[in-house]
Structure 1
Amino acid sequence: MARTTERVLQLLGLLQQRPVWSGPELAERLGVTTRCIRRDVTRLRELGYPVHAAHGAAGGYQLGRGRTLPPLLLDDAEAVAVAVALAQTAGGSVAGAGEGAVGALGKLDQVLPPRLRAQVRAISEATSVHPVAARIDADDLLALARACRERLRVRFGYTARDGTESDREVEPIRLVDLSGYWYLMAFDRDRDDWRTFRLDRVGAIRVTTWQFPARDHPDPLEWVRHSVAESPYPQQIRVILDCSAERGAALVPPRSGTITPIDDGHCELVLGRLDLGWEAMHLVALGVGFRVIEPPELVHELRRLAARMLEAAERS
């Protein structure tokens, strides 16, 4: 009986690893006959796991979705990853998710072996989470995620950076979490172009039943990074940093600017132009050499800043 229970649990673990398994594949992995696999599948169904079976060349066994959530089998690495993710989600940016994360983490911690609990604690203590910049509703996030997955058009109201309100109809592609904010990359049907929407400025989300065809699109993460760093500002600042792109990316947060590699020792930094005095101080504070490409007014601002700093040094 113990061997049978162990084999059924192993079968459940295999079914959770990939969408479809054939009977012979499962039998080979578990070292039993296909008839034994059929009996074990029946046992799983009696325990509440919806295991579907299809005949034919493309058929096989598939773990489906039931009315309730049955227990999941996790290996050591998966259990640690889930526990760490839940701990971070407990204080995250999705409103309403924190309470659920705390409850799930409590259940998981109760059954974690001491060695895995120690791993989770070590990772959590050594990890810093970016402060939450804006909280969003979990239902909105799930609705948009489903629309992205099923390629369904979405309508919503949007408040732009300058306070302008508008109604949008989009074809959503991907959700991106960047520097404490959630963004949606989507094709704006009215503007006939790709757009980035910050989710805390989105309201009255309505997922339609209209499915849109797949489009070729830019890399979502890179698109959002460039949009966030450049689009809100009518003018830009471009400088060459005397460091590698990896070093530049560590110095400049994604929401502040974009880094483009030039060679092993240089990269280009593009910033949104907001206040030249502030940007001049920010560039100096990076601690690496740089050369201004544009605008020329930034060079004059750097000279004024250098003169004030020299005067302060001489008076001190």
Structure 2
Amino acid sequence: METSARLLRLLSLLQAHREWSGADLADRLGVTARTVRRDVDRLRELGYPVNASPGTGGGYQLGAGAELPPLLLDDDEAVAVAVGLRTAAGQGIEGIGETSVRALSKLEQVLPSRLRRRVGALNAFTVPMLRGPQPNAVDPGVLTELANLCRDAERLRFEYSDHGGAASRRTVEPHRLVCSERRWYLVAWDLDRDDWRTFRVDRITPKPPHGPRFAPRTPPAEDLAAYVSRGVSTRAYASHAVVRLLVPKERAAERISPSAGVLEAEGPDSCVLRTGASSLDVMVIHVMMTGFDFEVLEPAELTEAIRTAHDRLARSLARSSARAAKSAPRTPDGAGRTPGTRSGSGAGS
């Protein structure tokens, strides 16, 4: 049982990283380098294609073999799993998108070529019927390529199109993929700008060859999901605001996505929304569209913009009411009663 558990641990390490030195594997497993070599031979006997390169810079790498390794899956099941993972990754299904990319990266690493062709054909000639248009669809192949580069700490070269359609060449050190609803983002260190940047994956076109390898840097934030949310909902805009919503955070989160603002719990009956917009006038509409009562915390200029909008709306309502009164049907004497009668008295009084 100890040997079996160690083999499973060794296989997991080989799947999680592109290449390991014998010394690193021995240290992780708590055994000698000789035991590592014997365990690698056992994996090969079981059908796992483990490549070894000699020398001081050499190591072990899990490769793709002529046959599918014994994963307790037959060919049809392996294809079904790969297609399902690609679909989940490409459609951004809540809660499983990032996990699907990691699992697909491991599976495609060992799929034999004949199964890769079947998976590719199914994806190329399958048209999904979605609930709505997908203007920002991401190629699952690009996702898995980026995930592999993040895993292996290899530099990425790509062409990037900004929101205006202008293209530029970038060289980055990729760190993590972040999924928000149906949109994917890459958090990476931009070598040309010497700073952390967030890139929309649907605007990335990889330009191999990639590399060399790099030493991973300390990420820009511990919570990368919140970091990306702040970037796409606040920092990317000219006008910023902080408002208190008079509802619990859980209820606000049902209507406000991470790409629209960052929510912070404040108490049982309120929360704080940090958000951005192209202008204060647009910010007024953005906050109103949340559908919740609110209080502006900052900036003071937003309160003035709301007051201006309030006065404009009040004038509009007054004009609409006056117009409705003029067009309403009237009684013969204009007072709601016929001539010859007086309000409050009978006909014989």
Q: Which residue of 2 aligns with 1:180?
A: 182
How far residue 176 of structure 1 moved from its aligned partner, in angstroms, is: 1.5
How far residue 292 of structure 1 moved from its aligned partner, in angstroms, is: 1.6
2:119 equivalent to 1:100: yes
User: Residue 208 of structure 1 aligns to which amino acid in structure 2?
Assistant: H
2:141 equivalent to 1:145: no
**Which residue, 221, 224, 248 being the options, matches 1:220?**
224
Question: What number of residue pairs does the alignment pair up?
Answer: 251
Contact 1:244 1:261 (8 Å CA) reproduced: yes
Secondary structure of residue in 2 paired with 1:233: coil
Cα distance in 1 for partners of 2:164, 2:280 equals: 20
2:305 equivalent to 1:298: yes
Any idea what the Cα deviations from partners look like across 1:49-95, whole Å, max 9, x if unmatched? 4589xxxxxxxxx9954414235238xxxx9xx6995495397379x
TM-score, normalised relative to structure 1:
0.61
Q: Which residue of 2 aligns with 1:249?
A: 253
Q: Which residue of 2 aligns with 1:48?
A: 47
Superposed counterparts of 1:13-28, under 5 Å: 18-19=12-13
Any idea what the Cα deviations from partners look like across 1:217-259, whole Å, max 9, x if unmatched? 1132222111111233111132111122222222211111121
**Which residue, 259, 262, 265 being the options, matches 1:258?**
262
Q: Which residue of 1 aligns with 2:201?
A: 199
Contact 2:226 2:262 (8 Å CA) reproduced: no
**Which residue, 289, 292, 299 being the options, matches 1:288?**
292
How far residue 299 of structure 1 moved from its aligned partner, in angstroms, is: 1.9
User: Residue 65 of structure 2 aligns to which amino acid in structure 1?
Assistant: R
Cα distance in 2 for partners of 1:313, 1:261 equals: 41
2:173 equivalent to 1:171: yes
Cα distance in 1 for partners of 2:190, 2:218 equals: 14
User: Residue 67 of structure 1 aligns to which amino acid in structure 2?
Assistant: G
Cα distance in 1 for partners of 2:315, 2:228 equals: 37
Q: Which residue of 2 aligns with 1:270?
A: 274
How far residue 166 of structure 1 moved from its aligned partner, in angstroms, is: 2.6
Cα distance in 2 for partners of 1:244, 1:224 equals: 23
How far residue 307 of structure 1 moved from its aligned partner, in angstroms, is: 2.0
Cα distance in 2 for partners of 1:231, 1:303 equals: 27
Q: Which residue of 2 aligns with 1:125?
A: none
How far residue 183 of structure 1 moved from its aligned partner, in angstroms, is: 1.1
**Which residue, 132, 136, 139 being the options, matches 2:138?**
136
The root-mean-square deviation of aligned C-alpha atoms, in Å, is 4.5
Once structures 1 and 2 are overlaid, which stretch shifts more, 183-192 or 286-295? 286-295
2:258 equivalent to 1:239: no
Cα distance in 2 for partners of 1:262, 1:102 equals: 51
User: Residue 143 of structure 1 aligns to which amino acid in structure 2?
Assistant: E
How far residue 193 of structure 1 moved from its aligned partner, in angstroms, is: 1.3
Any idea what the Cα deviations from partners look like across 1:247-305, whole Å, max 9, x if unmatched? 22222111111212223322221222235555434433433210123223432244146
How far residue 306 of structure 1 moved from its aligned partner, in angstroms, is: 5.0
User: Residue 200 of structure 2 aligns to which amino acid in structure 1?
Assistant: R
Cα distance in 2 for partners of 1:63, 1:73 equals: 22
Cα distance in 1 for partners of 2:83, 2:269 equals: 36
How far residue 213 of structure 1 moved from its aligned partner, in angstroms, is: 1.4
* Closer, same or farther: CA 309–157 of 1 in aligned 2, 3 Å: same
TM-score, normalised relative to structure 2:
0.56
Q: Which residue of 1 aligns with 2:22?
A: none
Q: Which residue of 2 aligns with 1:107?
A: none
* Closer, same or farther: CA 47–130 of 1 in aligned 2, 3 Å: farther
User: Residue 100 of structure 1 aligns to which amino acid in structure 2?
Assistant: V
Contact 1:132 1:181 (8 Å CA) reproduced: no
User: Residue 137 of structure 2 aligns to which amino acid in structure 1?
Assistant: R
Secondary structure of residue in 1 paired with 2:215: coil
Cα distance in 1 for partners of 2:304, 2:49 equals: 67
- How many percent identity over aligned positions? 34
